[in-house]
Amino acid sequence: MTVETVQVPAYRTFPVRVARVQRLSPGFVRVTFTGPELDAFASNGWDQRIKVMLPLPGRGILDCPAGDDWYGAWRALPPERQMPIRTYTVRGFRPERLEVDVDFVLHGATGPASAWAEQATTGDEVVLVGPNARFPGPTGGYEWHPPADASCLLVAGDETAVPAVCAIVESLPAGRLARVLLEVPTAADALDVAAPAGVEVTWLPRSPAHGAPPAPRGQLLTAAVVATVRELGPLLTPSPAAELADVDVDTEILWEVPADTAPQGSSGVYAWLAGEASVVKGLRRHLVQEAGVDRCSVAFMGYWREGRGSD
Ligand SMILES: Cc1cc2nc3c(=O)[nH]c(=O)nc-3n(C[C@H](O)[C@H](O)[C@H](O)COP(=O)(O)OP(=O)(O)OC[C@H]3O[C@@H](n4cnc5c(N)ncnc54)[C@H](O)[C@@H]3O)c2cc1C
């Protein structure tokens, strides 16, 4: 008897439509997607990443790549029929209602995703690429792997990391010590987050309330991370200041994450840092080279790069 192995992809396409649009603040809009195929969607929670494939003018989602090899099918299309693809975070998933929430940063019409989100209305169609519940193994796509015995968590990022950080914060058990630092465009972009006891959330608006010029991107976040690391010093897992391979954030992706089986028993602080790549690169240098933090305890992720589209 021959046994046929059916290859099920870990990630698959989900054609969906917009069920609701909610403007959360000047800088964020929450788009709730729905569709019958979301019964096979499998968010792991935390910083679960997905792809959003955006409609093409005049063609909508007609060119949605079919089959299990969605990426190969997409690449095989002529460029003018390739739907733009961008990476986002699952902010909320309600399987019983077949609904997925994505919080989009509104940074103007310079990128297809932000431009689409500015105009999104009920009924609009997009395609999500996300974890497949029918896949027999772990679907992955998230980087939040703190050791159970980490004495303190440091979670920091800019506005693009806010959805991931809020989802992480809301999943923490009460009593888990965590310092959360979030740089956002304005004070009105400090979103509601249900932080359990023990979690201290600090919002860092670049634009002060009274019309003074905004702080340069990353300045407040960097200063806050440096100060927090200094304060947490005694809890840090010391490591000899390490030589770091340079990452050219204009040509490479800055993505340095500890294995999902982070070592247990050796941990003080576990840190998760995401945002604009050059800012995260500066934080990486500070933590690993200057503060001597063990890089096995820190996830550094460049979520986007100023001046470069992420296609
Ligand atoms: C794992 C992961 C998860 C992410 N989750 C989210 C999320 O939940 N919500 C979210 O909003 N973003 C998220 N991002 C970031 C998002 O993918 C980028 O911001 C993306 O570039 C947006 O695509 P776009 O089409 O709007 O702009 P692009 O076409 O990619 O870029 C066009 C121009 O806009 C600039 N730009 C891009 N993003 C920003 C920004 N935020 N502010 C100012 N200028 C910008 C670029 O530098 C470029 O000059 C995530 C990224 C990763 C890697």
Last residue of a domain, one of 74, 96, 131: 131
Same domain, 46 and 116: yes
CATH number (domain holding residue 74): 2.40.30.10
Ligand 1 touching residue 105 (CB < 6 A): yes
Last residue of a domain, one of 79, 100, 131: 131
Token pair belonging to 59: 């063609």
Asked whether residue 109 is assigned to any structural domain, the reply reads yes
Ligand 1 touching residue 87 (CB < 6 A): yes
Asked whether residue 266 is assigned to any structural domain, the reply reads yes
Burial of 142: CB neighbours in 10 Å, binned 0-12, 13-18, 19+ = buried
Ligand 1 touching residue 306 (CB < 6 A): yes
Ligand 1 touching residue 270 (CB < 6 A): no
Ligand 1 centroid from CA 25, angstroms: 17
Asked whether residue 144 is assigned to any structural domain, the reply reads no
- For the chain, the three-class secondary structure string (H helix, E strand, C coil) is CCCCCCCCCCEEEEEEEEEEEEEEECCEEEEEEECHHHHHECCCCCCCEEEEECCECCCECCCCCCCCCHHHHHHCCCHHHCCCEEEEECCEEEHHHCEEEEEEECCCCCCHHHHHHHHCCCCCEEEEEEEECCCCCCCCCCCCCCCCCCCEEEEEECHHHHHHHHHHHHHCCCCCCEEEEEEEEEHHHCCCCCCCCCEEEEEEEEECCCCCCCCCCCHHHHHHHHHHHHHCHHHCCECCCCCCCCCCCCCCCCEECCCCCCCCCCCCEEEEEEEEHHHHHHHHHHHHHHCCECHHHEEEEEEEECCECCC
pLDDT by residue for the chain (311 residues), tens only, comes to 455 556 899 999 999 999 999 999 999 999 999 999 999 999 999 999 999 999 999 999 999 998 889 999 999 999 999 999 999 999 999 999 999 999 999 999 999 999 999 999 999 999 999 999 999 999 999 999 998 888 899 999 999 999 999 999 999 999 999 999 999 999 999 999 999 999 999 999 999 877 789 999 999 999 999 999 999 876 666 676 667 788 888 888 899 998 765 555 555 889 999 999 999 999 999 998 888 888 888 999 999 999 998 87
Token pair belonging to 31: 């788009």
Residue having the nearest C-alpha atom to atom 39 of ligand 1: 107
Q: How far is Cα 225 from Cα 182, in angstroms, rounded to an integer?
A: 10
pLDDT at residue number 155:
98
Asked whether residue 36 is assigned to any structural domain, the reply reads yes
Sequence-distant (≥ 6) Cβ neighbours of residue 59 within 8 angstroms: 81
Ligand 1 centroid from CA 139, angstroms: 23
Ligand 1 pocket test target in 32, 114, 273, 308 with most atoms within 8 Å of CB: 114
Ligand 1 touching residue 86 (CB < 6 A): yes
Ligand 1 centroid from CA 52, angstroms: 11
Same domain, 70 and 119: yes
Same domain, 121 and 176: no
Ligand 1 touching residue 134 (CB < 6 A): no
Write out the residue range of the structural domain in which residue 123 sits.
Answer: 11-131
Same domain, 63 and 185: no
Last residue of a domain, one of 68, 99, 131: 131
Ligand 1 centroid from CA 126, angstroms: 17
Ligand 1 touching residue 310 (CB < 6 A): yes
Asked whether residue 142 is assigned to any structural domain, the reply reads no
Number of domains forming the structure of the chain: 2
Asked whether residue 220 is assigned to any structural domain, the reply reads yes
Ligand 1 centroid from CA 263, angstroms: 32
